[in-house]
Amino acid sequence: MTEAVLRTENLTKRFGGLTAVDNLSLNLPGRRLHAIIGPNGAGKTTFFNLVSGLLAADSGRVFFQGRDITGLKPHEVSRLGIKRTMQIKSVFPQLSVAENLWVTRHATKRVLHPFRAASSDLETRERVEHTLEQIGLTALAQRPAGTLSYGDVALLEIGMAVISEPRLLLLDEPTCGMSPAETERAVAKIKQLARTIDIVIIEHDMSVVFEIADDITVMAQGGILASGNPDEISGDERVREAYLGRPEDEDYVEEAIHA
Amino acid sequence: MMTPAVIARVMLIAFGAFLVAVPWLIPVILNKFWVSVIAEIMIWSLFAASVNLLFGYIGLLSFGQALYFGFGMYGVAIGVATLGLSFWPAFGLGIVASIAIALVSGIFAVRLTWHYFAIITVVFSLIFYFFAVSVKPLTGGDDGINFALPPTFSIGGVTGSFSDANFQYFFILATVALCFFLMHRVIRSPLGKAFVAIRDNDVRAALIGLNVYQLRLIAFVMAGFLAGVAGALFAFFGRYASASYMFYHVSGEAVVWAIVGGAGTLFGPVVGTTLFIVIREIVSTHWEHHAFIVGAVAILVVIFAPKGLVGLWNAELARWSERTNDASVKTKLRTEP
């Protein structure tokens, strides 16, 4: 097994009386696409917030490629190459689509040039144009990001993740709110990305999860309920009870696996 | 082809030509007094630009920019009157003093955002206002410091000094224009784009790797620089410095000027400042309650043109250019066989 790209030791986060992430020890090996699933309130997004530095853990540690990143600030985590998307789509609404990509590409540089015109940076401009083509938003490049449709914003988010050349990508419900056609486009993009980048994805759409994931971790009440490959998870009685329990969902999962 | 970009360029050139012609043009059509009003408008526009850099570009509403303006003023006045400095060292002292105090207060202030930030900037400026009023030997207290104007330069018998009205006007014009040019460069640079990204969405900005605290501090110090240059110019212009210019009332006026003119646009502060100072100069001679008009105009603009007058103008221009583009497409279609 390759070295863990992301590892946590007894990670805990409490909000008042609620323990959102409870003594979580995870070990995610590299070169695999991991999905984290679980009912609402299982602590999935809190886990992402702890890794990306938006929240400080009460106890426990986080390691990225063997390096302890516990307690680093969001921009420090980001500069190590861990990029994430947000569950509620989050871009820079008053910047154009191209500028969103542009600023993301530049954000990791140590020094932001204070006087040279942004548009004169040819290397970045080519990258932006290439990424626009990749995500299929070339025609909308000059539109303010705040005026895009929901699905296009989600694609822009993926583009922003790609252009920053991440080493680990954390995707928080990337297909949430997308139409079936948009979901298909996003899934194809994620699959393609997974060939070169380590990805951890939180997703509620089971057909998406079972289509793309190599490994699945099921979270419930802040801890790990089960983990394994898609077949193991769909056959796990506890997971069925806790999460996939309702009969109509069971059919849905069966369908998804055999699709 | 009259695209919005061409129209903007033509207007900028016309505006520049007008400013250069002012010392000859204005005495003919109005009187000499208005030349110095226009010089004063340029200085206050620069001060409003400092509010605009913070509020319009990085999303921090400061009600305390007068503090840095005041340090620019006192740097010059104390430099000339107390330390006996000549023009340029005193000018430099004013700017360095305002940058230094902006750095010190910024370290604390930019940890906060929104109303907390607004409150802490007011508090800082109040602390130093009362300090300046009470330390009479240094600042002259309520009376302020009057000083004798040193010449700006003296090369081989040719002397340039603010006592020459034209020299004073062009020195102010050149300095303010240079500052606006620098701001224009910053806005279009990678740094400026990062500022706007932070204004739009600071959580996301951190997640893409921007050091939000550090960038806010840089913007705060830059704004302190602009306010300091304005204050230093105003000290030479008025030949005095006074604590009353550090009061938060002065900061508040600049906020109104910047927002009414159009926060987040380079020339918004110029438009807002010009509008209100012209209103003040015309109305205050006839009616002492000219602040009523200022308030009414501010309320109307905020309701009907939330992006300010320049924002309104830009939107109209974009609509007009879209319409004419549509029209030209239609004509083309019609001429097709």
Encode pLDDT of B198-235 as tens digits: 999 999 999 888 999 999 999 999 999 999 999 999 99
Minimal Cα distance from A116: which residue of B?
A: B189
Mean pLDDT, residues B31-52:
93
* Model pLDDT for residues B109-155, shown as the tens digit of each residue: 989 888 899 999 999 999 998 888 888 888 887 788 888 888 877 77
Mean pLDDT, residues A239-243:
71
pTM, two decimals, is 0.86
* Model pLDDT for residues B148-192, shown as the tens digit of each residue: 888 877 777 777 788 788 888 999 999 999 999 999 999 988 899
Show the tokens assigned to A242: 């806790």
CB A80 within 8 A of CB A167: yes
Which amino acid type is present at position B242?
Answer: S
Minimal Cα distance from A144: which residue of B?
A: B200
* Model pLDDT for residues A218-233, shown as the tens digit of each residue: 888 888 888 888 888 8
Instruction: Choose among A116, A118, A160: nearest Cβ to B208.
Output: A160
Residues 6 or more apart whose Cβ sits within 8 Å of residue B189: A112, A113, A114, A115, A116, A117, A118
If DSSP codes are grouped into helix, strand and coil, which group holds residue A170?
strand
With residue B24 as reference, give the H or E element that holds it: helix B4-29
- On the question of pLDDT at B268 being above 50, the answer is yes
- pLDDT confidence of B337, banded at 50, 70, 90? very low
Please give the span between the terminal C-alpha atoms of chain B, in angstroms, as a whole number: 25
Rounded Cα distance between B182 and B195, Å, is 15
Answer whether A74 sits within 8 Å of B196, measured CB to CB. Answer: no
Give the per-residue pLDDT at A141.
86
Contacts of A107 in chain B (CB under 8 A): 194, 197, 205, 208-210
Tell whether B185 is within 8 A of chain A (Cβ): yes
Distance from CA of A106 to the nearest CA of B (A): 7
Average pLDDT of every residue of chain B: 88
- On the question of pLDDT at A254 being above 70, the answer is no
Chain centre distance of CA A234: 22
- On the question of pLDDT at A246 being above 70, the answer is no
- On the question of pLDDT at B57 being above 90, the answer is yes
Listed residue (A30, A28, A108) closest to A76, CA to CA: A108
- On the question of pLDDT at B1 being above 70, the answer is no
CB B69 within 8 A of CB B47: yes
Instruction: Choose among B190, B191, B200: nearest Cβ to A92.
Output: B200
Rounded Cα distance between A207 and A209, Å, is 6
Minimal Cα distance from B222: which residue of A?
A: A114
Mean pLDDT, residues A17-30:
85
- On the question of pLDDT at B334 being above 50, the answer is no
Using CA atoms, how far residue B5 sits from A140, B184, B268, in Å, is 20, 15, 17
Strand partners, A6: A28, A64
Q: Return residues 198-237 of B near A (CB < 8 Å).
A: 199-201, 203-212, 215
Give the per-residue pLDDT at A1.
46
- pLDDT confidence of A150, banded at 50, 70, 90? confident
- On the question of pLDDT at A2 being above 60, the answer is no
Contacts of A142 in chain B (CB under 8 A): none
> For residues A111 and B323, which has the higher predicted lDDT (pLDDT)?
B323
- pLDDT confidence of B196, banded at 50, 70, 90? very high
Which amino acid type is present at position A18?
Answer: L
Contacts of B193 in chain A (CB under 8 A): 95, 99, 102-103, 106, 118
CB A82 within 8 A of CB A168: yes
Using CA atoms, how far residue B220 sits from B103, B189, B253, in Å, is 8, 17, 19
Minimal Cα distance from A89: which residue of B?
A: B204
ipTM of the complex in this document: 0.81
**Mean pLDDT comparison of A101-115, A122-136, B319-333, highest-scoring range:** A122-136
Listed residue (B290, B285, B282) closest to B253, CA to CA: B290
* Model pLDDT for residues A168-210, shown as the tens digit of each residue: 989 888 887 788 888 888 888 888 888 888 899 998 888 888 8
Strand partners, A202: A36, A172
- On the question of pLDDT at B3 being above 50, the answer is yes
CB A209 within 8 A of CB A27: no
Q: Alpha helix locations (H) across B165-307?
A: 165-188, 190-200, 202-207, 212-238, 248-261, 268-283, 291-304
Which amino acid type is present at position B78?
Answer: I
Rounded Cα distance between B276 and B45, Å, is 11
Answer whether B186 sits within 8 Å of A114, measured CB to CB. Answer: yes
Give the per-residue pLDDT at B329.
53
Rounded Cα distance between A198 and A195, Å, is 8
Give the per-residue pLDDT at B336.
41
Q: Which domains does chain B have, with CATH numbers?
A: 32-306 (1.10.3470)
Distance from CA of B319 to the nearest CA of A (A): 15
Give the per-residue pLDDT at A247.
53
Listed residue (B73, B67, B65) closest to B90, CA to CA: B73
Which amino acid type is present at position A135?
Answer: I
The 10 Å CB-count burial string (b at 16+, else e) for A153-181 is: bbbbbbbbbbbbebebbbbbbbbbebeee
Rounded Cα distance between B98 and B229, Å, is 8
- pLDDT confidence of A243, banded at 50, 70, 90? low
Q: Parallel, antiparallel, or unpaired for β A215-220 and A33-37?
A: parallel
CB A121 within 8 A of CB B190: yes
Contacts of A112 in chain B (CB under 8 A): 189-191, 194, 215
Answer whether A112 sits within 8 Å of B209, measured CB to CB. Answer: no
Tell whether A114 is within 8 A of chain B (Cβ): yes
B73-87, B209-223, B316-330: range with lowest mean pLDDT: B316-330
Residues 6 or more apart whose Cβ sits within 8 Å of residue B285: none
- pLDDT confidence of B305, banded at 50, 70, 90? confident
Answer whether A74 sits within 8 Å of B206, measured CB to CB. Answer: yes
Using CA atoms, how far residue B48 sits from A170, A218, B56, B221, B255, in Å, is 42, 55, 11, 15, 7
Tell whether B163 is within 8 A of chain A (Cβ): no
Contacts of B201 in chain A (CB under 8 A): 90-93
Distance from CA of B206 to the nearest CA of A (A): 5
Q: Alpha helix locations (H) across chain A?
A: 44-52, 74-79, 97-107, 122-135, 150-163, 180-194, 206-212, 230-235, 237-242, 247-258
If DSSP codes are grouped into helix, strand and coil, which group holds residue A61?
strand
Instruction: Choose among A90, A112, A114: nearest Cβ to B201.
Output: A90
Give the per-residue pLDDT at B327.
61
Answer whether A112 sits within 8 Å of B190, measured CB to CB. Answer: yes
If DSSP codes are grouped into helix, strand and coil, which group holds residue A216?
strand
Give the per-residue pLDDT at B7.
86
Answer whether A107 sits within 8 Å of B197, measured CB to CB. Answer: yes
Most A CBs within 10 Å, among B186, B208, B213, B218, to test the A interface: B208
Most B CBs within 10 Å, among A85, A106, A122, to test the B interface: A106
Tell whether B4 is within 8 A of chain A (Cβ): no
Tell whether A147 is within 8 A of chain B (Cβ): no
Give the per-residue pLDDT at B244.
86
Minimal Cα distance from B182: which residue of A?
A: A115
* Model pLDDT for residues A38-68, shown as the tens digit of each residue: 888 888 889 899 999 999 888 889 999 888 9
Minimal Cα distance from B219: which residue of A?
A: A114
Most B CBs within 10 Å, among A112, A119, A131, A165, to test the B interface: A112
Q: Alpha helix locations (H) across B78-153?
A: 87-109, 114-134, 136-139
Most A CBs within 10 Å, among B196, B204, B217, to test the A interface: B204
Q: Which domains does chain A have, with CATH numbers?
A: 1-81+169-174+198-259 (3.40.50.300), 87-165 (no CATH)
Distance from CA of A77 to the nearest CA of B (A): 8
Listed residue (A42, A35, A27, A26) closest to A234, CA to CA: A35
Distance from CA of B201 to the nearest CA of A (A): 6
Instruction: Choose among A78, A91, A102: nearest Cβ to B193.
Output: A102
Mean pLDDT, residues B2-30:
85
Listed residue (A194, A163, A192, A193) closest to A31, CA to CA: A194
Distance from CA of A8 to the nearest CA of B (A): 20
Rounded Cα distance between A27 and A113, Å, is 39
Give the per-residue pLDDT at B160.
78
CB A235 within 8 A of CB A253: no
